[in-house]
Each structure stands twice: as structure tokens, then as C-alpha cells.
Amino acid sequence: MLLGTFLELDRRVRKAANQDAITIRFMSGPGVEYVTALSFKAAVDDPARFKSSRTVGAHFGLIPRSLQSGEKDNPGRISHAGDADVRATLYAAANAMLMRSIA
């Protein structure tokens, strides 16, 4: 029962991803599957609201946090701001891309 429901939902998500030109373009990158493409497209929603591509990374918390005190600028870990699910799928896609290029 549960497996059947999962498989049906998976089929619907794949179908939705394969019917959209933007997600198909996203999936042309190595390591980017249908869940990553759909979640990124849904989270960005309207690309015109971002001034540049760098601000998209900041929106999902993928830039280093800056720890400044006086003259020192210590870059910290990523800020973890924004949608955690999108950040996790983007991380998984980047990791798959890196592991694919090593082998």
C-alpha cells in the first residue's frame, strides 16, 4: 500500500518535471535530477526578483557568513538562511557532480 502510493507520487513528480522546459534544462546538468530541478524552480519562482545570480545563492544560505571585527574579516560557514530542503537538494546535486568528476 505505502510502496504503491510512493511509486504513484514519484511517477507524477517525474511527469511534471519532464513536461516543463525549464526543469528539463536544469536536469541537463550532471547530478541534477527531477526533485532538485522542481524544488529549485518552485523556490526561485520569479527569477526577476533577484538582481544577479549571486543573490540566488544568498537567498538559499549558500554563501559564507562574514564574521567581521575591526580589521579582520573571518569568513565563516554557510549561513543556512532560506529553504533548507532546496539547500539540501542543491548540495546533493553538487556532491554528485563532484563525485562523478573524480571517478
In whole angstroms, give the CA distance from residue 59 to residue 43: 10
- What Å distances lie between residue 33 and 12, 48, 95, CA to CA? 14, 24, 13
Q: Are 90 and 40 in contact (CB under 8 A)?
A: yes
Total number of domains in the chain: 1
Q: List the domain range (segments joined by +) for residue 58.
A: 2-102
Of 55, 20, 53, 56, residue with least CA distance to 38? 20
To the question of pTM greater than 0.85 for the whole model, the response is no
Which helix (H) or strand (E) element contains residue 68?
A: strand 64-69
What's the pLDDT tens digit per position in 41-97?
Answer: 999 989 899 998 888 888 888 776 665 666 655 566 677 778 889 888 988 888 888
